[in-house]
Structure 1
Amino acid sequence: MLSWAAASPALAHDDAYLDTVKAPHGGQLRMAGPVHLELVLSKTPPEAQDKPAAVYVTDHAGNKQSTAGASGTITILYGKTKVSAPLTPDGDNKLSAQAVYAATPDLKAIVSVTLAGQVAQQARFTPFASKDNAHSDHAEHH
């Protein structure tokens, strides 16, 4: 019983669970070590062009974590295209970037964030995948 109790907090923050949580800025939430990252990408226009990307950083309780002195990168993959852009501090718990991307269901993003004085944390996102199919590629692993 103790092993189940010790494991349950980690299970509460898996991607499937986080996809059911309404993110504060309308993005997609992912756990990255001791923090949650919320990725917000522009849905419009859907075709590829230079658009903003924002990452909001909170602790597991939803409290804002300072991005002062933080750095990071976002790598966006869609179709056969791969683009990367630096993330820079842009407010109390926000990192921002500009990147050329298309808002397609197959878009995947890898975000790496290093908060001041901490080790880098990474998370993978599928922000435009349909909720029904977001984890269908993992079905055989469960």
Structure 2
Amino acid sequence: MPPIKALLLAASSSAFMLASQPLLAHSDDYLDTQKGANGGQLRMAGPYHFELVVASDNREARDSAVVVHVTDHAGAKIATAGATGTATILAGKEKSTATLTAAGDNRMQGGATYASTPDMKVVVSITVPGKAAEQARFTPLAGSK
């Protein structure tokens, strides 16, 4: 085989191998360096990114919104029509759960009673119609004072 053909074959073979590899997932540490489009914390959830937005000013537990924006890894909005989900919130010694329903475009929204504490942890699970449930864990106020 002439050297040029061998070189082209090797280059196209390498390009195919790279293109066929799955994209590397973003770590929580990396996503914590990224600003969510809606001011929330970002997490990987299977083929999606979930952005969790919670109230940051509840000094005492009170009814507040819980919003999750769903995008793909490139940031394109994923329609949430017909999707279902939950957000389980642990803040201080209290636990509450928000039932999430589609709220237009790529938004899931619900309400729960919680205090905005730096130790808050939230587990979000969302099922988009025709797809498997995906889950992500958040510490949305860990950097807050």
Q: TM-score, normalised by structure 1?
A: 0.84
Matches within 5 A, 1:13-92: 13-92=26-105
Deviations along 1:80-134, whole A, 9 cap, x unmatched? 2111121000010000011000000000000000001100000000000028xxx
For structure 1, the residue ranges without an aligned partner over 5 or more in a row are 132-142
Deviations along 1:25-66, whole A, 9 cap, x unmatched? 000000000000000001123221000010000000000000
Q: TM-score, normalised by structure 2?
A: 0.82
Of all paired residues, the percent bearing the same amino acid is: 55
Q: What is the aligned partner in structure 2 of residue 9 from structure 1? A: 24
Q: 1:100 aligns with which of 89, 104, 113?
A: 113
1:114 matched to 2:119: no
Query: How far is the alpha carbon of 1:7 from its aligned partner?
Result: 8.0
- Aligned to 1:9, what secondary structure does the other structure show? coil
- Aligned to 1:16, what secondary structure does the other structure show? helix
Larger Rg: 2
Query: How far is the alpha carbon of 1:20 from its aligned partner?
Result: 0.4
Moved over 4 A (4+): none
Write the distance in 2 (CA, Å) between the matches of 1:85 and 1:56: 15
Deviates more, 1:59-68 or 1:42-51: 42-51
Structure 1 pair 45/82, CA: closer, same or farther in 2 (3 Å)?
closer
What is the RMSD of the two structures over their aligned residues, measured on CA atoms?
A: 1.7
